[in-house]
């Protein structure tokens, strides 16, 4: 059973006026993300992981040096699909309801959350991801290198930001902090984050 790439949850030009060019998504979704699917399907073909779910592949390959390639591609497939859903042409603003209350409880305020999340995203050395996770009922901010994600640490991902250079270079060149600010101000899909918290 081959893994197939889900369509983007919005048209490729939908974020143009929100700081993310269509060209960025054509490369990021159309080349990078698609490439991880191609590689993963080749790597699992004929193995015991061929018919496993994506999450099973991630868990069974993590930490196994003979399956590093499988893990990297499987996790990048999962991370990117999750990331697309963290973006919205109607994004930004403030969360509401239980999510807002949990953010206030964990971080003191939305502004403090943004500060801490921005710091995690900006200080992830090299390639990686910044995350808001539910860790045993408590909201935490974490960051992971390369393809690693919170699933392998028993945490529930609620929100992520891709800080690999290919995520922002066409829009922001080397100005990662500007990319992070734009994400939090104009793109973050709080409805998706709230759904993850409730699930």
pLDDT of residue 127: 97
| 164, part of any domain | yes
Q: pLDDT tens digit string along 35-71? A: 999 999 999 999 999 999 999 999 999 999 999 999 9
pLDDT of residue 50: 94
Q: Which long-range contacts (CB under 8 A, 24 or more apart) does 178-185 make?
A: 179/19, 180/117, 180/118, 180/121, 180/122, 180/130, 181/118, 182/18, 182/19, 182/20, 183/87, 184/92, 184/114, 184/117, 184/118, 185/92
pLDDT of residue 174: 93
> Measuring CA to CA, which residue among 147, 150, 167 is closest to residue 159?
150
pLDDT of residue 185: 97
Total number of residues shown for the chain: 199
Question: The domain containing residue 71 runs over which residues?
Answer: 20-85
pLDDT of residue 168: 96
Same domain, 60 and 140: no
pLDDT of residue 124: 97
Same domain, 26 and 56: yes
Q: Contact, 9 vs 26, CB < 8 A?
A: no
User: Domain holding 131: CATH number?
Assistant: 3.55.40.20
- Cα separation, 101 vs 103, whole angstroms: 5
Q: Record the tokens describing residue 40, joined without a space.
A: 């993963």
Same domain, 151 and 63: no
Same domain, 102 and 79: no
Residues of the chain with pLDDT under 50: none
User: Domain tally for the chain?
Assistant: 2
pLDDT of residue 20: 97
| 10, part of any domain | no
Same domain, 153 and 193: yes
Same domain, 43 and 110: no
């Amino acid at each position: 059973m081959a893994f197939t790439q889900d369509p983007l949850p919005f048209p490729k030009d939908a974020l143009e006026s929100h700081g993310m060019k269509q060209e960025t998504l054509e490369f990021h979704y159309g080349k990078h993300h698609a490439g991880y699917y191609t590689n993963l399907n080749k790597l699992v073909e004929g193995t015991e992981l061929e018919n496993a779910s994506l999450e099973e592949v991630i868990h069974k390959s993590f930490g196994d040096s003979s399956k590093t390639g499988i893990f990297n591609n499987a996790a990048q497939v999962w991370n990117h699909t999750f990331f697309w859903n963290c973006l919205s042409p109607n994004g930004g603003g403030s969360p509401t309801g239980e999510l807002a209350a949990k953010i206030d409880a964990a971080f003191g305020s939305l502004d403090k959350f943004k500060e801490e999340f921005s710091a995690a995203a900006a200080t992830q050395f090299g390639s990686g991801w910044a995350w808001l996770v539910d860790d045993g009922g408590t909201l935490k901010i974490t960051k992971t290198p390369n393809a690693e994600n919170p699933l392998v640490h028993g945490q529930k991902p609620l929100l992520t930001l891709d800080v690999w250079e290919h995520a922002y270079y066409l829009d922001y060149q080397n100005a990662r902090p500007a990319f992070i600010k734009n994400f939090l101000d104009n793109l973050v899909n709080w409805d998706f984050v709230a759904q993850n918290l409730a699930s």
